[in-house]
Chain A
Amino acid sequence: MSLELKIQSLKLNEGENPVRKKAIIVAVAGNPNSGKSTLINAIAGTRLQVGNWPGVTVEKKTAVFEYEGRKIKLVDLPGTYSLSPYTQEEIIARDYLVHEKPDVIIDVVDATNLERNLYLTIQLLELGIPVVIALNIYDEAMKKGYKIDIKAMEKMLGVRVIPTIATKKSGLKELLKAITEIVDNPAIHIPKRLHYEEDFELAAASVESYIKTTYPHLAEKYPLRWFSFKLLEGDQHVLQEINLSENETFIKDIREHLKRSHGDDIESLMADERYAQASGLTHEVLKKPETRKIEMTEKIDRIVLNRFFGIPIFLAAMWLVFKLTFDVSGPFADWLDAMITGPFKRWAETILGFIHAPEWTVSLATDGIIAGVGFVIVFVPVIFAMMFFITFLEGSGYMARAAFVMDRLMHAIGLHGKSFIPMLLGFGCNVPAIYATRVLENPRDKALTALLIPLMSCGARLPVYVVFVGAFFPHNAGTVIWSLYVMGISLAILMGVIFKKTLFKGEAPVFIMELPPYRMPYFRSLMIHTWEKGKHFLIKAGTYILAVSIIVWFLLNLPWGVENKRDSYLGKMGQVIAPVLEPLGFGKWEAASSLVAGLIAKEIVVGTMGEIYVPKLEDKKEEKPSLTEDLKEIGTSLVSAAKDSIANIFSTFGIASLSSEESPEMKEERESLRNVIRKQFTPLTAYAFMSFVLLYMPCVVAAIALRQEFGTWKWYGIAFVYQMALAWIVAFMIYQGGKIIGLG
């Protein structure tokens, strides 16, 4: 056996660079919320790397580090209650364990909830891979007065059991030591074979021997005991994988035999068996105090989930999250924006001027590349802030409550209670909102939520409304803008119902969710996680956005030297598209070109209109500040951004990003734009145009977020098509309907 294991571990490292030390692969498995991520963070700290599992969008976290001269690689498996093949997480976890055959499994067990956690442990033991149990959240178990007999537990399971408190980094050394001991001496650390009921054991044994003789390659590929039980259970995932049918005689015969004496549902029987083991073990090793205290979680839930207060509290919490996400990050985003379009751009111009670069390269570098970089970077604060708060909500246990409170409402449009938060964030910015869909476990819920998010009118659409409403509805500005938000929400409900009946027909996801105890999230974990996500966005999304921004620069400025924007490529595109917009009331190349440019971000629609409609004011003579002045400016404005950000936390009115102050020049520019627009649009076509801007295609950053979250362009494609259609139809109905009732 020992030899076998060694061979196994040799095989494992094939393909790795032979010069480098072979890493000990340690998979970290456990129930959701048992503290896996916290444990990994505590051990590996900033060496954590966040990526995705291949082909799916479930996060994969790994960390490589040295311990006593050995290289150890930790792999954070998704939290699962079981190794059944029903949720994406479960499939990932088990495929990894079965096919990648890690050297050791750390099974993170929540000491406050032994029985349900041990149910998974028992399944892990079937795999025959050495297991170490990290008996985590030990502090809370102690506080509850639980007495856990560790020695007895070790003896009964045949594995090491190490009490840990991941948040306080206690027990980690012992855990690592146990791992190295196991790797040094795998033979004495083979987990016990727990005995299920005799009939099952006999059946499994006969399947095992049959496989060994008939399918030796399978016997090598799979952990035999586990594999045999899966065949007995009729596990579809495994059967498919090995291309066997449930009706294969040898499986069928044994299953029939079991069914005759035990009833039809072998899968349930096995679950019963395993739970019986888990509960037997728990009774042996766990002593609970006679009287149970009323716990903190219960007290909080009495208020937070109260019939009357539940919803107001939820709404208040959401308002806070929304405000914190966008208001705290807002000033930093503005600061970054000002830095990039100000000093940074100036320096680039100076340097390029110094080396006598041709004018078009200067324009490309500053208006194309630097502006594009700026575009990516201004998103960073908000992504960071969103990740921080979402991780906080999840880690604290409130996310599950939010879902509980909102599920009824969201379920009506085919969504999950947890969809509410991403949808809400969508009003600030669709991009972090799409990333926030990761709180949804079910791929269907996730996709449906992400498809509807772009209908939430984001902050970037507001500048468009502001210009048009100012020009045409100065006396009803609030009502008109409000009506657009309501239109977005109503259409999201409508589309939700339509998608539920078409695209997602037949899949009815269930809502069976644990409400975990409230816990204070571990600040360091939060930071590490937030940082990793932000970095990911910067690198991945950054490249795409930059590319698109350069393309738009080309469209706007080529052929080089165009005097009239009408002759630029963008203008030409506008002329081609304009007739399509004719029935909507704004079939002019100017409007069409602006809409095309809005692909980058909807607020650019206004900027482009400005460039097209309003003849360029004489280039103001800028006195260029010196380098030291620039640097000083960067510093002081950062400080004031930080101040604003903190002030925003405490300010109670409105959304800061919406009421940002404007310079007199900007006001003036906007007025002159409004004057032109008044000539080009009527109130009716203006409203149709605003509706179109609200609804048409998600911006490129949202597109990239969709691509990144789902790993394919499919959902962006669907969003693009349905939104274009929706925008056209709605604007058409508004314009034509308005004409009929005599508004045009």
Chain B
Amino acid sequence: MNLSMLKPGEAGKITSISAIGPLKRRLMDMGVLVGEIVKVEKVAPLGDPIEVTIKNYNLSLRKKEAEGIEVEVVK
């Protein structure tokens, strides 16, 4: 299960990040870390990108980037 599969309103706990290099570093700097809870808030009107909340702020990323973030659904 990866982040791009969650629907708006669903939340997940990050289990791994498969991105590498600058992308991974960028995600980490933005607080996207293993163990963190992410909640999907919205999908953009045209279907991409998505908006999530993490560490108490709102972040948007493209689905392609979200695919590299594995999550397990939390209630």
Contact = CB atoms under 8 A, between A and B. Distances in A.
Interface of A: 81-82, 84, 86-87, 113, 115-116, 119, 265, 267-268, 271-272, 275, 297, 301, 305-308, 310-311, 400, 403-405, 407-409, 411, 417, 510-516
A405 B62 CA distance: 12
B24 A268 contact: yes
Contact of B49 (A265, A306, A404): A404
Contact of A272 (B33, B45, B51, B58): B33
Nearest to A305: B42
Given A305-B42, A404-B44, A514-B60, 19 more contacts: A113-B57, A271-B25, A305-B45, A305-B51, A308-B45, A310-B45, A311-B45, A404-B60, A407-B49, A408-B44, A408-B47, A408-B49, A417-B49, A510-B65, A511-B60, A512-B60, A514-B30, A515-B59, A516-B58
A514 B44 contact: no
B26 A86 contact: yes
B57 A411 contact: no
A405 B57 contact: no
A407 to B, nearest CB: 5
B49 to A, nearest CB: 5
Nearest to A233: B25
B43 to A, nearest CB: 8
Contact of A513 (B45, B56, B59): B59
Interface size classification for chain B: 20 to 34
B29 A400 contact: no
A409 B44 CA distance: 11
B31 A512 contact: no
10 contacts: A87-B26, A116-B57, A267-B28, A311-B46, A407-B62, A408-B48, A511-B61, A512-B60, A512-B65, A515-B58
Contact of A510 (B23, B33, B57, B58): B23
Interface in B28-75: 28-31, 33-34, 42-49, 51, 55-62, 65
A268 B45 CA distance: 33
Contact of B56 (A115, A272, A404, A409): A115
B27 interface: yes
B60 A513 contact: yes
B60 A400 contact: yes
A86 B46 contact: no
Contacts of A516: 58
B22 interface: yes
A82 B26 CA distance: 9
Nearest to A83: B29
The 8 closest A-B pairs by CB, nearest first: A408-B46, A82-B29, A310-B45, A271-B28, A515-B58, A86-B22, A81-B29, A408-B48
Contact of A514 (B23, B27, B33, B57): B57
B62 A411 contact: yes
Contacts of A310: 44-45
B46 A405 contact: yes
Contacts of A510: 22-23, 26, 61-62, 65
B25 A119 contact: no
Nearest to B58: A515
A309 to B, nearest CB: 8
